[in-house]
Amino acid sequence: MPQWSPSPILCAILAGLCWGVGEIFTKSAINSREIGPLGTVLVRAAVTLPLAMIGFFVAYKLMRTEPQPFWHHLSAATWLKLIFGSGLLAGFAGVFFFYFGLSLPGGEISILRPIAFALAPATAVLLGWWFLGEELTIRKVVAVTLILAGILMLAGEGTVRSSKPPRSDEEAGKGRSVTLADRVAADDVPMVE
């Protein structure tokens, strides 16, 4: 019987959906003003660490899909890449600046999320070519150009607003918009039968 192997594209789609839905709840929590960006990063890390440890244990001991205990055999250069790149830049700084932007006036997730998460793949394509020797095809160049054009459109000064009238202060939660996460928390989401 052939072993099922997940598609890398499917994994990227699932990651994008998880981040997209998860960040709506995060933005709603930050909008509550009960927690700031650093507190949000701390909660994220506290939830992530035990899950990552359990996942590693299952992959290493039960499924045998992880190599030997990595901490015994990593070179100093690999440790530095992981600590600086994955831990400091991607794990802390990127998440912090994103959450900090969400906490600022005008920090709309519908603008910041696409900018942050479109700039990441554009940067990865260019740095993958420059530093890792990955192939830079015409298709990738066109895709990066379109990504950068989209970022410029989102970051531009003239934002188009919805033609829908703004919600009342009472309905919008004292001046802020009501999100799907707020409606879920209030059990105010219409169910489809």
pLDDT in tens, 20-71: 788 889 889 988 999 999 999 999 999 999 999 898 888 888 888 877 666 7
Query: Among candidates 103, 192, 101, which has minimal Cα distance to 154?
Result: 101
Q: Decide: 147 and 118 in contact? Cβ < 8 Å.
A: yes
pTM over the 0.85 mark? no
Question: Residue 81, SS3?
Answer: helix
> Widest CA span of the chain, in angstroms?
60
Q: Does residue 91 surpass a pLDDT of 50?
A: yes
Q: Which two tokens stand for residue 44?
A: 């994220």
- As a whole number of angstroms, the distance between CA 109 and CA 177 comes to 12
Name the average pLDDT for the chain. Answer: 79
User: What's the rounded mean pLDDT across residues 159-163?
Assistant: 49
Which pLDDT band, with edges at 50, 70 and 90, does 189 fall under?
very low
Residues contacting 73, CB < 8 A, separation 6+? none
